[in-house]
Amino acid sequence: MTPKIETSNEKKLVGKRMTMSYADYRIGELWGSFMPRRKEITNCINNDLMSMVVYQPMHFANFKPTNEFERWAAVEVENFNNVPNEMETYILPSGLYAVFLYKGTSTDISIFYQNIFTVWLPNSAYVLDNRAHFEVLGEKYKNNDSSSEEEIWIPIQERGRLSL
Domain count for the chain: 1
Within-domain flag for 149: yes
* Containing structural domain, residue 88: 4-158
pTM over 0.95: no
Within-domain flag for 98: yes
Within-domain flag for 140: yes
Q: Is the pLDDT of residue 144 over 80?
A: no
CATH number reported for the structural domain that contains residue 109 in this entry = 3.20.80.10
> pLDDT for 7-24, tens place per residue?
999 999 999 999 999 999
Within-domain flag for 151: yes
Q: How far is CA 56 from the centre of its chain?
A: 14
- Residue 145 C-beta-side C-alpha neighbours within 13 Å: 9
Within-domain flag for 164: no
> pLDDT for 106-126, tens place per residue?
888 888 999 999 999 999 999
| Span 139-147, average pLDDT | 86
Within-domain flag for 163: no
- Amino acid code (one letter) for 12: K
Q: Is the pLDDT of residue 162 over 80?
A: no
Q: Which pLDDT score is estimated for 161?
A: 65
